[in-house]
Amino acid sequence: MELTEEFKRYLEHVSEGLGRSERKAGLKSYCGGLMLPLKRKSMEPLAAAIDPHRVQARHESLQHFVSDSPWSDERVLSRVQSWVLPKMRTERQGWVFLIADDTGLPKAGTHSVGVARQYCGQLGKTDNCQVAVSLSIATAEASLPIKYRLYLPDTWSDDPTRREAAGVPEDIVFMTKPQISLAQIREAKAAGLPGDIVAADAGYGDDTAYRDGISGLGLLYVLGIKPGTTVWAPGTGPLPPKPWVGRGKKPTRLRRDEAHSPASVKAVAMSLPASAYRTLTWREGTNTKLSSRFAAVRVRAAHRDYQLDSPRDEEWLLIEWPTGEPEPTKYFLSTLPADISRKALVSAVKSRWRIERDYQELKQEFGLDNFEGRNWRGFHHHATLCIAAYAFLIGERLAQGPDTKKNTVFRTSPALPEGYTRRRAGSTSAPCL
């Protein structure tokens, strides 16, 4: 089965992150298989397509490489980044975004690591699934996933039996999705990866500690929030500490009372005059320009500021209220500069569309949600290899220019041998490491 010369060079470059040369064959086979036009990209159909005359042996080899071999996801992804990021020309971009998100992977049964009844974005409802938290670097031209970690519900993190069966590392403890995301951002910054602005939806932005953590890292943010998030309306703020009467400890905490209290962002939005809302276009869609009505005002976040000694800094509250809707549909807080134009603010907020496209392609084209193994290592190795294959496509698109078609098949699928049967076909051989 023939690979393009550029893809061969790429896989050789990426495989340097595996630590042992005998593991390279596994990576090259797996990533090559992910490029094939298969309906499903779990291990068995990959093995059948890669080596149709020795399916069982190839299946065992891939199984060992993905589920058992102790290579580092971080090192492999670092090699991916060193190939693709220069092609994204991040140093020439005005803003580079770090896009945080999570994705649901529907899953039957109870034994696959991290599976639980929880909200699954792919299904749009609560159901049995795994959820992974990711971080991507995005520019105006492209985006690249750089971090990917399974969210482990406490029903898993607090269960030693399940942890052992699924091979969950001892240092993995329960963390909320915002905590996982913030750790990923911290790691990216420590590694010197590009990124100026963090973008995420309300599942992350509504967490005050998450927003504060981003600011503490010296990064800006554009984050979705929920309608009930409280802020101090424009021109208002918390009351100063009580006057000191000369006895006891001097009061330092900010105050609020029934006559002077913060409001929900929805209440702020509904109180604005109609003239505060303007129709803005942020980019060209597939068939039409994408536009909506927006208002932007300066506010201060109010969450538990009565425990603080000084008010939080002002930031942007951006409100989206599409024409024809009875009330606003989306709210965002942003620490972008006070003198930024509303159009630029809207464009920054809408930068998250790229991660939605990434997930769509990773699942539909590269089988991100097709992994059938149950353990922690296999879950993350499969995702790393899917990202590695997808990243090559990103690099090729950038090299070929904006007219590049959505996808390119770099290898054709071989015909299966006559009499092929599932799982038991072929001879056996030692697995690759």
Residue 172 has φ and ψ, to the nearest 5°, of -85, 115
Please report the pLDDT score of residue 285 as a whole number: 74
Please report the pLDDT score of residue 75 as a whole number: 98
Please report the pLDDT score of residue 253 as a whole number: 79
Residue 135 has φ and ψ, to the nearest 5°, of -135, 135
What does the alpha-carbon distance between residue 371 and residue 89 come to, in Å, rounded to a whole number? 33
Is the Cβ–Cβ distance between 298 and 315 less than 8 Å? yes
* H/E run at residue 372: none
What does the alpha-carbon distance between residue 407 and residue 141 come to, in Å, rounded to a whole number? 16
What does the alpha-carbon distance between residue 310 and residue 318 come to, in Å, rounded to a whole number? 24
With a CB cutoff of 8 Å and minimum separation 6, the contacts of 193 are 81, 85, 137, 146
Please report the pLDDT score of residue 187 as a whole number: 98
* Closest CA relative to residue 71, chosen from 10, 18, 121, 117: 18
- Parallel, antiparallel, or unpaired for β 315-320 and 330-334? antiparallel
What does the alpha-carbon distance between residue 317 and residue 218 come to, in Å, rounded to a whole number? 20
Written as six digits, the tokens of 176 are 């909320």
What does the alpha-carbon distance between residue 33 and residue 61 come to, in Å, rounded to a whole number? 13
Its pTM stands at 0.89
Written as six digits, the tokens of 265 are 């962002």
Q: Tell me the Cα Rg of the chain.
A: 25
Q: List the chain residues with pLDDT less than 70.
A: 1-2, 93, 402-433
Please report the pLDDT score of residue 2 as a whole number: 62
Residue 103 has φ and ψ, to the nearest 5°, of -135, 140
- Parallel, antiparallel, or unpaired for β 330-334 and 97-106? unpaired
What does the alpha-carbon distance between residue 344 and residue 337 come to, in Å, rounded to a whole number? 11
What does the alpha-carbon distance between residue 167 and residue 378 come to, in Å, rounded to a whole number? 10
**Facing residues of 292 across strands?**
280
Which amino acid does the sequence have at 87? K
Reported as a single tens digit per residue, the pLDDT across 267-278 is 999 999 999 999
Reported as a single tens digit per residue, the pLDDT across 307-318 is 777 888 899 999
Residue 338 has φ and ψ, to the nearest 5°, of -65, -25
Angle at which helix 43-50 crosses helix 55-63, to 10 degrees, equals 130
**Facing residues of 290 across strands?**
283
Please report the pLDDT score of residue 93 as a whole number: 64
CB-based burial, 25-49: b 16+ in 10 Å, e otherwise: ebbbbbbbbbbbebeebebbbbbbb
Distance between start and end Cα atoms, the chain: 21
